[in-house]
Structure 1
Amino acid sequence: MSDTPRLNTAGFTLLERARDLRTLIEREADKAEAQARLTDTVVDALHEAGIFGIWVPAPLGGAESSPKELLAVFEQLSYADPSTGWVVMATTLENGTAGAYLPDEAIERIFTGPRMPLIAGQGTRAGVAVPEKGGFRLSGQWSFASGMPHAQYAHSLGAIEGTDEARIFITPMEDVKMLGNWDVLGLRATGSIDYSIDGAFVPDSYSHVFSTNEPLRGGAVYRLGLLDQALICHSGWALGIGRRLLDELIRYAGERSGRPGQLAGSDAFHADFARAEVKYRAAKALIHQAWDDAERALAAGRTLDVREETMLRLALNHMTSTVTEVARFVYASGGTSSLRDGLIQRLFRDIHAGAAHILSGPQFLRECGRELAGLAPGETWAVLNLEP
């Protein structure tokens, strides 16, 4: 276990680099959409900028950014292109948690070479892990492995046969069969394919308990545990796509300003835009308030209490539903520019794909309401539910 509760602060360098990549990412977005994966040009640029090390523990050469620093980078990349932001948030989370929680033997093999490894996979649908001397035999099929076409390792949830203990298993891509069935409405460029593993041997050192919040290296951000860290990902992504939707509508209306009968001259549009803007800003403020509170707890050397965890989940749920509502307004206001293939249409498709993720779903909202209403005394957050 790490001997320090310190919350690392990486600074603004990676945020500035992410901002500098915007022109390149936007230029490559249509090609990425067409080929259903990020372009090699963008992946190489992200590597060169050090973005894939943003979540990796500092002792392994990563930035080990704080939650709000991560939020800012994911927001910036998702503003440039939601699929790029999604791939980065997913792979960097898995890079970071592997670096924090895996034993030294695996770390010495995975975190070598001139580039940070890319780890991609799925942590919500469990395969079966059969104990064997020195490790496990892992089998299963998983869906929505964002960024896997670019990865060197897979991150997969498995349940131990006989005990049902949930663990994360890290396997080289040679053990993975990529099923390649990524034909979807939104987030097309994420390459979030299904994959399977058939009886691959996974040494003990290449797995960790799913629910652990005790890092073997690195500081306080890893004491959030894997699931709470995932909330950072989806919150930052929603911040970025929400702002881009509103900015694209500003651009669209401005281009038509002064023309008779156009949107820019409509009192109803002015009022509706003001409502959309304030809803987005209020949801963003709640995200930042919740993570300010979380960072103070981590910096003080403690884990989050139940209410603090509730607010992180509620803030994400509220932001996602708000941005989905904003997207409908932007799409309806964009006229034929929304109907035709283009950026507004792609943003509209992407937000509806991202909003379908389980972490933004109604189950969290119901549980948050139960806790906030004082109807879950003595219960704590366990994956998606509050439990005694």
Structure 2
Amino acid sequence: MTTVQEQPVSTGGTPSVVLHAAEGLHDLIDGHGDENDRTGRIAEPVVEALYDIGAIGVFTPRELGGAEMTPRQAMDLFRTLSYADPSTGWVTMAMGLATGLAGAFFGENAARELFATPRLGIAGQGTRPGRAVPVPGGHRISGEWSFASGIKHCTHLHTAALDAETGQTRFFIVPVEQVTFIENWDVLGLRGTGSIDYTLEDCFVPIEYSYPSLSTEPVTGGDLYRIGIGNFASINHGGWVLGVGRRVLDELAAVVRAKAGRPGAQTDTVAFAEHFADAEVRLRAAKALLYEVWEEIEATLARGAEIPLRLHTLNRVALHNATFSVAGIAQFAYTSAGTDALRRGTMQRLFRDVHGGTQHVSSSPLVMQSAGRELAGLEEGKRWVHFSLK
């Protein structure tokens, strides 16, 4: 691997510095949560703060001024931000990933040029590819993409397209000004992410501004980038859902304390207490499994070894478990909180956001179906390609 010698413009810090700064943003982020939900975007003071503390650089290589956090450090960051506001945590992890991967897999000169962009942030979509026609010097890409979380706060788009000649899927980085927005984010939860659709039509992208979607050998940066983009899902969405799950239980506890002693309060029953304890255990168990799997993956990478198929599988299983454990906890909290959850407010928004998160492809039933076959020893010789075994 080579590294970029010239430090570009950046406000990145060490992982511990970024994490500490993120903890200090709780009141700011929490205070804009309802506004984000109503307006369909993250409030600008929050966006500025995320850039200022280096949160968008969570996965950006150190040589390019980023934090290049380990998987568990990144999950700590996403838990912290998502606890304050799920939409803010979601946008941060989506932009952090797209920005960081470009830094890792771009060539040295292109990376230096891209990361000299003031307040660089990359958003976009990578699961449904468009069309890329090879031309001298690069590709012309066209298509329509969905779920561009962070698109309203970025400088560039990360977008997948299929090379019309080779059949290879590549990620292309284009300036956001070249994109046509489709304002169609009318959804149940995660409204504040503003994850609208977008289109590109015959847009030229230099070959230096794209890289293969299955890249695992970074040009810049360390072992983190060897995990493959599919494994980043459990870092991002796992950290996100654990943070939201903790906030759900804390909000429910506050409701319970406020109602304690009222005549007929359902939450004064022994049945409620039992279910609350069960919810706490399920949340902690989901976190323990996810962090245990990532501890093992990090140790494997540190030895210079390849991640075995079983760990790839357990990683996806751990994310699915966390996602639907928290979905069950949110249902319990919604039911127990009564009309406090029915009316507009934090509990209602958390409930909606949790169920928005369950719809992500990384936690689909197909993932568990493939995982079950692998765990049973029925998929020898196959490998995970994003969220399916092939």
Identify the residue that residue 98 of structure 1 maps to in structure 2.
Answer: 102
The alpha carbon displacement at 1:11 in A equals: 4.1
Cα shift at 1:114: 4.7
Deviations 1:63-118 (A, max 9, x none): 10100000000000000000000000000000110000012232122101453x11
1:12 aligns with 2:16: yes
Q: Distance in 2 between matches of 1:385 and 1:219?
A: 26
Deviations 1:194-245 (A, max 9, x none): 0000000000000000001000000000011122123210010011011111
- Please report how far the alpha carbon of residue 160 of structure 1 lies from its aligned counterpart in structure 2 after TM superposition: 0.4
User: Are the aligned partners of 1:2 and 1:219 in contact in 2 as well (CA < 8 Å)?
Assistant: no
Q: Which runs of 4+ in 1 moved over 4 A?
A: none
With the length of structure 2 as denominator, give the TM-score of the two structures: 0.95
AA aligned to 2:243 is: G
Q: Report the CA distance between 1:174 and its aligned residue.
A: 2.0
| Match status 1:232 vs 2:222 | no
Deviates further, 252-261 or 18-27: 252-261
Contact 1:310 1:368 in 2 (8 A): yes
Question: In structure 2, what is the Cα distance between the partners aligned to 1:11 and 1:383?
Answer: 27
Residue 12 of structure 1 aligns to a residue whose secondary structure is helix
Conserved? CA contact 2:327–2:358, under 8 Å: yes
Alpha-carbon offset, residue 384 of structure 1 = 1.9
What are the within-5 Å matches in structure 2 for residues 165-244 of structure 1?
165-244=168-247
Matches within 5 A, 1:11-160: 11-115=15-119, 117-160=120-163
Residue matched to 2:7: none
> CA offsets per residue over residues 22-67 of structure 1, 9 Å max, x none?
0000111111111100011100111111111121000001110100
Structure 1 partner of 2:262: 259
- Distance (Å, rounded) in 2 between the aligned partners of 1:231 and 1:202: 30
Q: Could you tell me whether the CA contact under 8 Å between 1:71 and 1:233 is conserved in 2?
A: yes
Structure 2, gaps ≥5 residues long: 4-12
CA distance in 2, matches of 1:273, 1:138: 51
Distance 1:147 1:11, change over 3 A: closer
**Letter of the aligned partner of 1:167 in structure 2?**
R
Q: Distance in 2 between matches of 1:52 and 1:217?
A: 17
> Match of 1:200, SS?
strand
Tell me the residue number matched to 2:328: 325
Which stretch shifts more, 100-109 or 62-71? 100-109
Give the match for residue 360 of structure 1.
363
Unaligned runs of 5+ in 1: 4-8
State the alpha-carbon separation in 2 of the partners of residues 330 and 361 from structure 1: 23
Say if 1:333 and 1:186 are closer, same or farther in 2 by CA, change over 3 A.
same
Aligned to 1:382: 385
Q: 1:351 pairs with 334, 350, 354, which one? A: 354
Deviations 1:231-289 (A, max 9, x none): 21001001101111111111110111222322442111011111111111111110111
CA RMSD in angstroms, aligned pairs only: 1.3
Once structures 1 and 2 are overlaid, which stretch shifts more, 172-181 or 213-222? 172-181
Output the amino acid matched with 1:13: V
The aligned amino acid for 1:270 is: A
Contact 1:253 1:263 in 2 (8 A): no
Aligned residue number for residue 6 of structure 1: none
Q: Is 2:354 the partner of 1:342?
A: no
Instruction: Provide the rounded CA distance (Å) in 1 between the counterparts of 2:348 and 2:314.
Output: 32
8 Å contact from structure 2 (residues 79, 243) kept in 1: yes
> Percent of counterpart pairs with the same letter?
46
Secondary structure at the aligned position of 2:246 is classed as helix
SS at match of 1:215: coil
Q: 8 Å contact 2:229–2:386 — kept in the other structure? A: no
Task: Name the SS for the 1:46 alignment partner.
Answer: helix
| Cα deviation, residue 303, structure 1 | 2.6
Give how far 1:302 is off: 2.1
Counterpart residue identity of residue 119, structure 1:
I
CA distance 1:132–1:215, shift in 2 (3 Å): same
What is the CA deviation profile of residues 105-140 of structure 1, one whole-angstrom value per residue up to 9, with x for unaligned ones?
32122101453x110000000100000000000000
**Alpha-carbon separation, structure 2, partners of 1:140 and 1:230:** 24
Separation in 2 of the partners of 1:2 and 1:236? 30
State the distance in 2 between where 1:212 and 1:53 align: 19
- The size of the alignment, in residue pairs, is 381
Residues 15 and 67, structure 2, Cα contact 8 Å, conserved in 1: no
In the alignment, the residues of structure 2 paired with residue 158 and residue 302 of structure 1 have an alpha-carbon distance, to the nearest angstrom, of 31
Q: TM-score, normalised by structure 1?
A: 0.96
